[in-house]
Structures are given as structure tokens and as C-alpha cells.
Structure 1
Amino acid sequence: MHASRLRVALTLAALAPVAAGCAEGSTLDPASPGGPPADPAGVFPAAPVLLPGAPGSAPDLFGPPDSGLPDGGPCLLSPEPGALVPLDWAPLEIELVAPASQDLFEIRLHAEAAANELVLYTPSRRPRVPRDVWTRMTAMLRDHPVVVSVRGATLDGEHLAGPPARGSTATFTIAPVEAGGRILFTSSDPDRQNAAIHGVAVASGGNPSVDLIPGSERGGTTSPAIRCIGCHEVTPDGRGIGAMVVRYAIPPGDASFAARDEPWRNEILALPSTSSGEPGGSFPSLPGASIVTRLAGDFLAFSPAHWAGGDRVAIGVIGAGVDRNDRALRQLAWFNLDAVSRSPGIAYEPLARTGDPAPAAVMPAFSHDGARVVYASWRDDPESDVEEVVHTDLYSIPYRDPRSPRAMPVPGAAEPAFNEYYPAFSPDDELIAFTRTASPRSTHSPPDAEIYVIPAGGGAPVRLSANDPPACSGCLSPGVRNSWARFAKEARRHQGKTYYWIVFSSGRRGHPNHDPFQQIYVTGLVVRDGVLSLHGALRLPGQPDEARNIMPSWDQLAELLPEDVELR
């Protein structure tokens, strides 16, 4: 894909406003339905569906769909307007926020291709479409827009305390392709304590997320155990994870050790296998990993093109692993994880950044073909703390190519008025997603952070419509800390279109006692003949509700962990 060919065609559905809006205005430009034709009589049942807790009289209590109050009902938080749902997504979760007094809800799903509407009655503010219905929808409503509408009421004995109130609406579409794999993220309590790496399978049915760090790395009061986990990247084979961790032992009964400020360091850990739940036996021995732990700061990047015996490589940043207070060494380097030798040039070596005037480099991304590294060029004093970086641009360098050693700014992601950071390549290396804020600004979870994409060769940056929360939520972006975009591991092709899936974190849900309170969301991008179509967001089901969930990645781990393992 060439930068000159990339144009943007928004497909964000219009939302009937019920409060101050978040989404930018856009026109609905639905693609022609490309999936199999629907069976009008078989998609949705003719009779309403009573979910657990709903009274049998609910259909009569609510009455005709056009009755009741025109507003004052629930706000539909997920799916968001214009969302694109992967074909293998768990049965759709519908998330509502409603006035405290409302305790009974009517949810309608309407598709022009279906003879009936799906009508659900539930007391839950996060119900799911029944699995049998969802199975029929994914078979017969692919590429057909589905409109969700909701009404809320207050149950008073056997009657309603007042007429039902209409809430917001949203339109979503089921994609004709799957997403696959599992989504990983760092999860901690809202005060940023007790961090862990969690994983959720896309098709898990919404099972609670799984803590992926083996128990042997967690326990122990006399040996250093993992107490905190930060930036991370899963190895290309899905069997290990490179993560920034803090380790220390907590002697029994010694509460003073609970909040020790130990230095971060990079480690490469084996992920659990299906058989034991402990480190997978197939994870390769990496003699060079100790050099990474000793020298590498910031987070690591891997490429499938450099993950075979004798050529297992990590891209990292030399600096903080030696001395957290010494920032002068923040330079990109490759690390040979198969190397037994510890000698420079064999075990590791800095990457030349000729042409980049900045004193330091952070946040690398490694292309899937193994040819390029894109990173954040750090224009600030290298003695400052990474959490206070205020000037960053994206630069690109070839990986160990002596014919072309120069670092070049990425057009569209190296603008002086903005910070561009956290780059990520699409699985076919055609696109780069990144986080952008105004400059100068700290890159550490700023409220105005938003997600953009550009062609990998550079071009006009495209702001994702998934940055915008639903209008009825009262939230606005910039302002909800959208950050850390990562692509699914496959770009799926269907009928001349290429489908990309992106996972990111966002603070749009809020929390009564903590700010920010980020959660994990998914959005889809579709490219056809150089035209990029944008979509709204879906909240990832199964993630801990009362947790701060950040730094997601998307990896093909479904074959390595059982679908029914639960963390509760």
C-alpha cells in the first residue's frame, strides 16, 4: 500500500443522541452485504427471550416498542456505534449504564435481512445474546448491519413504577472473518498495585481472564518473586513473554517490604502450557536472555522473521538495566538470545541511528518481515525519567543493513507539534498504529492520548473513530487516555478487502474513586483498493471489571491455554 493511495471512508453509524456527544460527525456508508443471505425465518426467534431474572410479564409491561418516554433510558456503552465484530467473537455482550432506579431492560436487535427482531428482557446491565442465537447470527448476518436499541424501566412488584424510557441506539456489523488468538494485558487494582499479565481468548465465551504468569514465579517469601509487571511483548511462537518486571522477596510478617521501590528489569518468561499450567516444556532455552536482563531497559520487540534456532533476536534499549538513574545509554540494540558468548558484537550490539539528531531512542517495534525497526526518537535530556518524556517522534531504521544505515523520520508521525510513540506494525507490515498527544506532554498515560494509523511508508495520519466513546456516556476524546494500540497477528482477506483488528486501552468507563480507570477495547479496520474504513469499539469481555487493564497485545495463544481456565 502506498501513502498516496490511502484515503479514509468513515463507516461510523449515526447515533441518536441522548446527551452531550463524544463522537465526531460522520456519515453512514455501509458496505454492500457480502455474507451469505439471511434465512428470514430462522435468525431471530419470533417470541421474546426472557433472560434470567426477568419476569414472564415483561413483554406486556413494556408494551409496544414505540410506547413510553422518548428519552431518559439506558446508555448503550458496548457495542459502540459502528462497531465491527469478529466472526469468532464470544456471544455479544451488551453493556448498559442506566439511572439507578431502573432495574428491568428491553433490548431489541433489528436487521433488515431478518424477518423478526430479537427482543431480550433482562435485569442485567451486561447481558449477552444467547449462544444459540449468536451462532445463527454469525452464520446468517455477516456483513449485515444490526441495530441495537434499549429501553429501561423500574419494576414495582408486578407492575412498572412508570412508563419505560427509551435509551440510546447503536449499529454494529458482524465481519465475515475471524480475529483468532488471545488478547494479553497488564491488570492491576485501580491503585496500580498487584499487577499481573492476563489473557482472554477471543472465542472463549467470555470466560474470566487467566493470569498467565506461572505460580512458581509468584510465590515465595524468601526468594525474589515477581511483584509488578509493566511493558511486555509475547515471543513470536506464543510460548514466552518479554516483560519489564520488579522482583523482591517479602519476609513473613514484614509489611515494610510490601512497597519496595526495586529497579525494573527485562525478563523473558515461559508462558503456561495446556497440560500443566506451569511453564511450557516446548519453550526454547535462551542462553542470551541473561544479557537482556542485565543490559536492556524499556520494553522488548520481536519479529517472526528472526525467531528460529540460531536467529532468535530481541530489539531492546541499552540503559536502564545497568542503572535506572543513568539515561545516557538509551540506545537501540539487538540481542542474540541464542548466544552463549557475552561479548559485544556476538551477544548484542547497538543499532546505528545515523541521521537522528535526538540523544536517545525508546519504544521499539520490529517489522514482521524483520527488515525494519520503528522507534520513538527521544528529543529530551537523556538524564530525565522515561515517564516524563515530553518530545518524541517516530523514526525508522533498517535492521542490520550496512547498505542503508540511516534513520529516517516516519512521514506523518514525526510532527513537531505532537508526540508520537508506542508504534506497532500491522501483521502484513502495511500499516503502523501509534499513540499521539500534543507536545510537549508526558507520554505516561496523558488524558489527551489518541490512536492513529498511517501507511508503513508514511502519509497523512488517520485518527481512529474508535477513540470516541458513545455520545450518551458524556465522555469525550481527547480526554479518555486512549493508548497502546496493537494489531492481531493476522490480516484476514475476504472478497477484495483486508481486515485488521486492533486492541487498545481506554479510560472511557471511568471509576468513582480512581482516575484513570482503563479497560481493554477492540476495533476493526478494513482496506479495499487503498480506502481505509474505520469502525467503533467493543469492550473486551472477560477482563476484570474492577481493575486497571492496560498495555494489551494480541497473540495466537488459543492452542496453548485451555478455554475453560478461569481466574476467580
Structure 2
Amino acid sequence: MRVIGASFILGIVMAVGMAVGCSAGGGGDKTPAGGTGGAGASGGQGGAGGDIFNPTGGMGAAGGTPVGGDVIVNANCKANCDDFPAEPIFDGVAPSNAPELFGAPDNYTPGLCIVEPHLGDSGKHGALFPANWLRVRFRVKPANNENLFEIRLKAANQTNELVAYSVSPVWAMPKEIWEAIGVKGGAIDQEIQVTIRGVNSQNPGTPTGATGTFTIAPVTAGGSMVYWAATSSEVTPTTSKLVGFYVGDETTIDALTVPQVQQGNILSEGGRDLRGKYTDPKGVPQGRAQCIGCHVSTPSGEEVGFTDHWPWNNVVSTIKEGKAGEVPAYFTAGAQRLLSQPWLGMMTFSKAIWGPGNRIALTPYANRNVDIGFTDSAGYGSDRLAWFDLETNASIPWTEGQSGPTNDAIKGAQGTAWGFLQTSGESQGIVAPNWSHDGQTIVYTSAGKSQDGRIADNVETDIKTVPYNNRQGGAVAPVQGAATPGVSEYYPSFSADDKLIAYNRAGNTSGKIYYRPDGEVYVVPSNGGSPIRLAANDPPACTGQTSPGVINSWAKWSPTVLGGVPNGKTYYWLIFSSARDYPGAFIVPPNQYSPPDTRSSQLYMTAIVRDAQGNYETYPAVYIWNQDPKTSNLTPAWDIFDIPPPPPPK
């Protein structure tokens, strides 16, 4: 008998621990473990490979240099492998006679619902995991008062089946076994069969059960994730924050909180006084950031750019360990003032346009009752696309009680410190831009009507592109397949190699865009083509939930793309938010800006894989179980964030 302590039982609140005892792996027909550098993404540089647990080489980020941790994983065992233990694993609570209560492995009737991971059956893919991902967790919904569960895993190259017994409907694979079959190459690139059965230990009868498959990819994923965690729509210093973790971490860390943000002198929309002097300061000092939302990483990974509370000014803040909240040294006072203008939108940056003397941010710039600058009246209509030099030496003075001199200075700096990209052929508003990694192209949402930097309600929205052209812009072009009349297409994002665009799609143009229940995540080639609906939109069928209807949104790509894999495939990873049901789900208290549906959301990861012939396959979603279920988790960003390491699990 193999006993795993109670720290391995994962309840509604994730309590996790490091397994001890028999080591996994060591026998069978094995070759040396380790990683191999793969071909870099488009515009990138291939890595040199190395030890997966201390990678000094790896895959090249698109347009950049090697990023450690992104490697191809070589299978280290072809047959007769012993990564799965011969003896069953008991959770420390399950009775010793559990095997007798279940009987033969095929002794069950259908009825148990396996929620995690989303398993494949009937020719459909199951979930696909990066080899270094958070260890696989199994969660079932009991059907008939089951209180004892058997988890059984089978892989073609393994001598034994992994068998575990747990009194909890949530169980995570011991970490040393997960590493053995994943990053050490013990069971990669093959379907792993999962069968879970449940009985009531006081009245066993015939077990209920279900079966299906998942796969571990022969590649790792790199980078770190930072997301917006909120407990209410009401703006206070404690109701929202940025939370982060690195791939594989079992805990998270607060990356940035509202009180940490040090940038000051943020003005009200009229520009005559500090925000919060004559309005509710939302619990922070006058002129300070009130909310952290719609954030993106700067290309260095040391800062985030985010949109503040009304009137939607923009802020850039450090998140680096020991410096969270500091104003970056390059972010000049003039640039801070320019980006504190009201009614801006989500910022975007490009690695190719980022370095000393050339740090540029792009953002929508809403219409107003003056041409540019501060004003008390928000405009409606067609937002423009503006660029801002974060290192400008322009002086933008401010005197309390006056906005005229400040607006005059803003006008005088136009063309040198900031300005507008030409968008020839665009008659609609420009919202939610995303800049390609090679710095050549901006993809954005073209909205029939925009509202103070946001997409207005009940309007046509399409995905279009415009060239950057050294701040000059150019002719706008719709993305074929993502600019369909009568359909809402919005929130686009370039993949790390700029070959794909992920975006949201809803079947009509009625209602609010933000947090639409009928929103789904699609992918289209960046040069246009047939849109691809992701399998990750759909919850497991046994849950009774369907999409559209679970608020799938905010898809963002991993920071690297792995090519050059021996199987001929290229692996893309994607993170997104969804309000599908989960333990601990709640209704987020709304405010005047809230959408009609305020179900809490959580984060999910998924894969898109291109084969050697250029065909794409998509996979079901993987719930990211280290996140806090007591916060609604949205607007994720997956990049090379330089955040502090999260603490070890307790």
C-alpha cells in the first residue's frame, strides 16, 4: 500500500503539498531525460536546450532572444516504464479495503461526471497539457452520494496502471509522478486513459464511473501569468488587484495592489484639479490610482500598463520584485501627464518598438468636446488610435484651477511626444488594440460607435488591422473571417509569432460587448482565413452547461511558440476567462458600469496545435487550479513577467 498524506487532498480551497515516499521512474527502456532546444518562432531565435529543471537555453520568443524553460521534451522511455507505481495510492483516509469495494476495473455503470480534466472520448481530443504545467488534478461531481473514489490511469508504455483511492471528489496526482511522466518524458505525446469510479462506502453496490483520455505535450510552456482579481465592482483599495504566478506554480502572489501604485498627480476629467478632490477618492489620496484594470505587460516584463478608474486614464507601474508600484525611471513626468488625459482605452506595446529612446505605447483616444486634452464632457463616436512616447522630455505644466495652459502644452507636444496614427478607410471607432510582436501591425476592434474609450452598446464590431509605419499609420484592412456583418468580433490578440489572432465572437450585435454571456473564443490566421472555434469554449457535456452562455472572454497567448518538434507539430498555448460553474462561484456585486451578468469568472488554459500540413487542432480547456476561487479572475496576460516567485505550497 502506498499512502499519500492528507496534504494531497484538494478540497474546494486548494490545499496542496509535496509528496514523499517511493520515487517514480527509474526502470524500463529509458533514454536520458532532458530537453532539446527547438526552432524559434517567426522572427525569433532557437534555443540551445538543456536540463528541464535548470534550463539555460530554450525557445526563442517571437522577435527576441532565447527564453529559458521553453524546450522540447524527449521521451525517455518507450516500453516497460515504471513511472506509475505498482501499489495503489491511498489518501490517508480511504479504507484499506477500498479495492474490494470497487471490484474489477470494468465494474461500473455510467453516471459519474468528470469535470477536471476535460477528457476526450468518441474520437474527440481530451485536454492537452504542457509538460511542465501545474500537476493534473481530477475533480468529479458525485451522482449518487458517492463518498469514495478510485482514480485509475493507464498509458501504453507504462508497466503498471496508476490507481489511487480518495474520499474527496478532488484529487491531484503526486508531484513526483507528474514530473516523471511530464517534464522527464515518461508518458508524453500519447493518450493517457483515465477511469474514475465512485461508491458509497456504507452502501457500495455497483460503482458509478466515467472514462476518457488526456495528453501531455512533448513541449513545455514558458513565462508567467498576471491577472485581475476582483471581489466586487465597487472601487475600493482592496476590491481588486493583480495576481501572478509562473508556469507550474501551485500558489500565486499579489503582483500589484492599488495602494502600492505610486504615480500621482492624476487629474480629473476637466483638468483643473486632482481627481478625488471634489469627487469620491475611492479610499486613496487625491491624484492617485483608484483601480487596476485592463492591464498588459511592457515588453521588458518589469512593468504593467493599465487603465485606471473613471475617467479612464492610463498608468504604467513596476511589478518587479522589491519595486512593485514604483514609477519606471524612463516614464517621464510629461508622459505621465499625457497618459492621464481622460477617456483613453487599453494600452498595447511591441517588443520591436521598445528600448532606450524608443518606448512607445498605443491606446485609443476618445472623442471629446475639445479637439484634444482635458474637458468635462466625454465624447461619443469614433475613437482614434494614438501613440505616446513614454520617454518624452516635453513639459506639460499644470496649475490648479486651470486647464487651458495644460491643454495648450498638450497641443504643442502633438507630433513629437504623442500623436495619432493615420487610419485611412476607417469610419468607425478604434478600440482594444493589440500590437504585433514584430512592430509592423496593429490589430483592433472596429466599433460602429465607441464611448469614452470603450465599445458602445448595440453596435457592429469587426477585427481590422492598420500598419504602424513609424507612427504614421496607413490604410485599414478588415481581417477576412473576423469582420462578418451582423456578428460581434472583438478583443483581438496576436500570437507570439504573429501568425494567428485570437478574438471574441458573439452571434449578433445586440447588447453590451463587455462580459457578454454569449461570447466565445475564436482564432483566425492573421492574414485572414476561415475562423476556428475553439473546443475550449465548451464545458464538459456532463455538467449540463453549454457555450454560448458561459462568458468565455479575454484570450491571451503564451509569450513563445514552439516549433521544430520531432512530431512535426507547432504548439500554441492560450489563457482566457470563463464563468462556467466551479466550486465557490459567486455573483460579483455590481456597480453602474457592470454588465447585466456578473457571475464570477475563473481562468482556463488551452492549446492550439498546427501540424506539418498547416492544419489546426484545438483542445478542451484546463482549469488553472492554483487561482483563488473567492475572487473573480479576468483580463489575464501571459508574458515574461518579472514578478516575485510565489511561496511554496503549505
Place the TM-score, normalised by the shorter chain, in its bin: 0.7 to 0.9
Identity %: 32
For 1:142 and 1:385, locate their aligned partners in 2 and report how far apart those are by CA, in whole Å.
44
State how 1:355-434 maps to structure 2 within 5 Å: 355-358=425-428, 360-380=429-449, 386=455, 388=457, 390-400=459-469, 405-434=474-503
TM-score by length of 1: 0.83
Q: In the alignment, is the contact (CA less than 8 A) between 1:96 and 1:125 conserved in 2?
A: yes
For 1:43 and 1:565, the matched residues in 2 are separated by 25
Match for 1:325 among 378, 382, 399?
A: 378
State the partner residue of 1:174. 216
Q: For residues 227 and 85 of structure 1, what CA distance do their matches in structure 2 show?
A: 37
- In the alignment, is the contact (CA less than 8 A) between 1:238 and 1:555 conserved in 2? yes
2:241 is the alignment partner of 1:196: yes
Pick the aligned partner of 1:265 from 313, 327, 337.
313
How many residues in Structure 1 have an aligned counterpart in Structure 2? 510
Q: Secondary structure at the match of 2:344?
A: strand
Separation (CA, whole Å) in 1 of partners of 2:382 and 2:577: 30
C-alpha displacement of 1:317? 0.9
Distance apart, 1:294 and its partner CA: 1.9
* Secondary structure of 2:110 counterpart: coil
Native 8 Å contact 2:346 2:432 kept in 1: yes
Q: Which runs of 5+ in 1 are unaligned?
A: 1-32, 247-261
- Whether the aligned pair in 2 keeps the contact of 1:411 and 1:458 (CA below 8 Å) is yes
Paired residue secondary structure (1:61): helix
| CA deviation after TM superposition for structure 1 residue 521, in Å | 0.5
- Asked if the contact 2:253–2:645 (Cα under 8 Å) also holds between the matched residues in 1, the reply is no
Deviations 1:320-363 (A, max 9, x none): 884573234621111111112150011111111111222x1101
State the SS of the aligned residue for 2:466: strand
Partner of 1:460: 530
Deviations 1:16-46 (A, max 9, x none): xxxxxxxxxxxxxxxxx98443452412011
1:86-165 mapped onto 2 (5 Å cutoff): 86-99=130-143, 101-138=145-182, 139-155=185-201, 160-163=202-205, 165=207
Aligned partner of 2:49 in structure 1 is none
Distance 2:191 2:420 in 1: 51
Q: 1:284 to 1:105 in 2, by over 3 A?
A: farther
Offset at 1:382? 5.3
Partner of 1:45: 85
Q: Conserved in 1, the CA contact under 8 Å of 2:448 and 2:460? A: yes
**1:305 has 2:305 as partner:** no
Contact between 1:366 and 1:374, CA under 8 Å: does it hold in 2? Answer: yes
- d(CA) in 1 for partners of 2:361, 2:391: 10
- Look up the SS of the partner of 1:522 in the other structure: strand
1:561 partnered with 2:644: yes
- Aligned twin of 1:13: none
Q: Which residue of 1 aligns with 2:105?
A: 65
SS at match of 2:170: coil
Note the C-alpha offset of 1:222. 4.5
Shift of 1:292: 1.6
- Give the match's secondary structure for 2:99: helix
Give the Cα–Cα distance (whole angstroms) in 2 for the partners of residues 161 and 416 of structure 1: 58
1:523 aligns with 606
Which amino acid is 1:378 matched to? A
Q: Distance in 2 between matches of 1:329 and 1:477?
A: 32
- C-alpha RMSD over aligned residues: 2.8
Once the two structures are TM-superposed, the CA of residue 298 in structure 1 deviates from its matched residue by: 1.4
In structure 1, the partner of 2:127 is 83
Q: For residue 298 of structure 1, what is the amino acid of its counterpart?
A: G
The DSSP-based 3-state class of the residue aligned with 2:422 is coil
Q: Distance in 1 between matches of 2:356 and 2:482?
A: 35
Report SS of the residue matched to 2:502.
Answer: strand
Are 2:330 and 2:390, in contact at CA under 8 Å, matched by a contact in 1?
no
3-state SS in 1 of match to 2:294: strand
Query: Shift of the alpha carbon at 1:74?
Result: 3.7
Deviation of 1:115 after TM superposition, in Å, equals: 1.6
Structure 2 distance, partners of 1:282, 1:41, is: 52
Q: Deviations over 1:154-212 (max 9, x none)?
A: 23xxxx323253333331111111111112211112667612111122121x1145343
Q: Structure 1: how far apart are the matches of 2:502 and 2:458?
A: 19
Counterpart contact for 2:91–2:165, Cα < 8 Å = yes
Alpha-carbon deviations, 1:376-401, whole Å to 9, x = none?
A: 11113658963525311111110036
CA contact (8 A) 2:81 2:186 kept: no
Between the aligned partners of 2:295 and 2:454, the Cα distance in structure 1 is 19
Consecutive unaligned residues of structure 2, counting only runs of 5 or more, are 1-72, 121-125, 263-281, 368-372, 395-409, 588-597
Q: Identify if the C-alpha distance between structure 1 residues 380 and 270 changes in structure 2 by more than 3 Å, giving closer, same or farther.
A: same
* Matched letter for residue 331 of structure 1: R
Corresponding position of 1:472:
542
Tell me the residue number matched to 1:243: 306
Match of 2:391 among 335, 338, 358: 338
Provide the C-alpha distance between the structure 1 equivalents of 2:338 and 2:648, rounded to a whole number of angstroms.
34
Q: Secondary structure at the match of 2:218?
A: coil
Which structure carries more strand by proportion?
A: 1
What is the CA-CA distance between 1:272 and the residue it aligns to? 3.4
Answer whether contact 2:382 2:430 (CA < 8 A) is retained: no
Shift of residue 224 of structure 1? 5.7
Residue 184 of structure 1 aligns to a residue whose secondary structure is strand
User: Would the alpha carbon gap of residues 401 and 279 (structure 1) be closer, same or farther in structure 2, given more than 3 Å must change?
Assistant: closer
CA distance in 2, matches of 1:281, 1:415: 42
- For 2:616, the equivalent position in structure 1 comes to 532
Q: Deviations over 1:254-291 (max 9, x none)?
A: xxxxxxxx533211111031xx3635798644442331
3-state secondary structure, aligned to 1:308: coil
1:445 aligns with 2:515: yes
> Which amino acid is 1:180 matched to?
G
SS, match of residue 499 in structure 1: strand
Distance (Å, rounded) in 2 between the aligned partners of 1:97 and 1:129:
18
* Contact 1:76 1:96 (8 Å CA) reproduced: yes
Structure 1's 107 and 294: CA in aligned 2 closer, same or farther, altered over 3 A? same
d(CA) in 2 for partners of 1:35, 1:304: 34
CA deviation string 1:89-123 (max 9, x = no partner): 12212222224832221111111221211111112
Cα drift, residue 297 of structure 1: 1.2
3-state SS in 2 of match to 1:291: helix
Aligned to 2:632: 548
Q: Structure 2 vs 1, CA of residues 446 and 62 (structure 1 numbering), >3 Å: closer, same or farther?
A: same
The TM-score, its normalising length taken from structure 2, stands at: 0.73
Equivalent residue number for residue 482 of structure 1: 552
Going from structure 1 to structure 2, the CA distance change for 1:150 and 1:210 (only over 3 Å counts) comes to farther
Contact 1:72/1:165 (8 A) holds in 2 = no
